[in-house]
């Protein structure tokens, strides 16, 4: 059974890999955190969703990408998307950058606290 968070994460992934800017531009030789959101995104030619919700795939230019679960000791689902030298995190509510998994977990926990306070 897929949860709402799983659906949001899968949709975030599909949205990322299918995004095409309006201007014609070449896919960068290497994606980095500096160019990830300002360059053309390579189209996926295949991807597989694992039983745990992790995703692995290949783009049209041969780039491997993944969106894997980040282990946490709290009840938060967190995934890290990587392609080349670039990465970002998805927590079921938003996409964000953090330098490390630990900082991403802290960010997700803090945002969860804010969401819980504002919905009560």
Q: Is the dihedral of CA 57, 7, 50, 31 positive or negative?
A: positive
What does the pLDDT look like over 3-47, one tens digit per residue?
Answer: 555 655 665 666 555 554 444 568 899 999 999 989 888 899 999
CA dihedral 13, 17, 23, 29 (to 10 degrees): 130
Whether the full predicted model's pTM is greater than 0.75, yes or no, is no
Write out the residue range of the structural domain in which residue 84 sits: 4-119
The pLDDT value given to residue 118? 53
Q: What is the largest CA-CA distance in the chain?
A: 47
- Report the domain count for the chain: 1
């Amino acid at each position: 059974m897929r949860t709402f968070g799983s659906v949001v994460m899968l949709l975030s992934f599909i949205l990322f890999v299918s995004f095409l800017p309006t201007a014609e531009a070449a896919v960068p030789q290497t994606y980095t955190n500096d160019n990830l959101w300002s360059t053309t995104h390579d189209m996926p030619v295949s991807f597989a969703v694992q039983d745990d919700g992790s995703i692995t795939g290949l783009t049209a230019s041969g780039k491997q990408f993944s969106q894997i679960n980040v282990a946490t000791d709290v009840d938060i689902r967190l995934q890290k998307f990587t392609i080349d030298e670039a990465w970002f995190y998805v927590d079921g509510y938003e996409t964000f950058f953090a330098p490390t998994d630990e900082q991403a977990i802290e960010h997700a926990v803090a945002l969860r606290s804010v969401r819980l306070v504002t919905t009560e």
